[in-house]
Amino acid sequence: MMNDLFDSVDGEGWSEPVGDGVVVLRRFASSASPALMAAVADIAAQAPFRHMVTPGGHSMSAAMTCAGSLGWVTDARGYRYQSCDPQTGRAWPAMPPKFFALAQQAAERAGFPGFEPDACLVNRYRPGAKMGLHQDKDERDFSQPIVSVSLGLPIVFQFGGLRRSDRPQRVILEHGDVVVWGGVARLNYHGVLTLKAGHHPLTDEFRYNLTFRKAG
């Protein structure tokens, strides 16, 4: 990565490299956050948040919905992307232009120009919810990065290596922070620890996470 510790950005915030291929863009999405949350409400009105079930039969503690031409789904048949929402039978809501622009700008800032996400997974965490270590590997093209936007309550993000057993680094993610990983880190294990109770002026008792992927 070409980021120096605490170098400044043209827009908001500053960059903190976590390792090769992964950087936290601190507060990169702060000023856009009210508009992002309004768009999340629009998306959820069309494709409601739901607790998807893993192939092993476990209900995920984070509630999810999606936007874009593809959405990520898990059920008894496995993990996959598909163009329609299995709950409504309709196409997923379109990717809001402000989502696309923010993700593209963040990717470029992190050294991945030309990112064109076609899927945005929206995760909603209540206190007690978490996401265990996993790899994002249902996408077709691993040359494209993952862009992950944190909104609302803080949480501890874990970023490990290529093996589940690799000891992860822990980074606190706060409102407006954006994590970008790609290149040698694209398939690294990652997740978040259990959300602690709190209140955020924009998101109440929740934390939201938008992850942008080039899935198809």
Ligand X SMILES: O=C(O)CCC(=O)C(=O)O
Q: With contacts defined by CB under 6 A, how many residues of the chain interact with ligand X?
A: 12
The answer to whether residue 192 forms part of the interface with ligand X (CB under 6 A) is: yes
Task: Give the one residue of 15, 158, 188, 209 binding ligand X; rule: CB under 6 A.
Answer: 209
Question: Nearest distance from residue 73's CB to ligand X, in Å?
Answer: 13
Task: Give the one residue of 3, 15, 104, 123 binding ligand X; rule: CB under 6 A.
Answer: 123
The answer to whether residue 190 forms part of the interface with ligand X (CB under 6 A) is: yes
Spell out the residues 6+ positions from residue 66 whose beta carbon is closer than 8 angstroms to its own.
Answer: 43, 47, 72, 85, 92, 93, 119, 120, 121, 122
CA Rg value for the chain: 16
SS (H, E, C) 133-198: EECCCCCCCCCCCEEEEEEECCEEEEECCCCCCCCCEEEEECCCCEEEECHHHCCCCEEECCCCCC
Question: Nearest distance from residue 146's CB to ligand X, in Å?
Answer: 7
Torsion over CA: 183, 22, 208, 170 (sign): positive
The answer to whether residue 136 forms part of the interface with ligand X (CB under 6 A) is: yes
Span from 13-21, 38-46, 158-166, 189-197 in contact with ligand X (CB under 6 A): 189-197
Span from 1-9, 11-19, 43-51, 188-196 in contact with ligand X (CB under 6 A): 188-196
Read out DSSP for 19-87? ETTEEEEETTTTTTHHHHHHHHHHHHHHS--B--B-TTSPBPSSEEEEEES-EEEEETTEEEEESB-TT
Residues 55-114 that bind ligand X (CB under 6 A): none
Question: Nearest distance from residue 100's CB to ligand X, in Å?
Answer: 18
Question: Nearest distance from residue 41's CB to ligand X, in Å?
Answer: 18
Question: Nearest distance from residue 179's CB to ligand X, in Å?
Answer: 7
Chain residues binding ligand X by CB under 6 A are: 121, 123, 131, 136, 148, 150, 157, 190-192, 209, 211
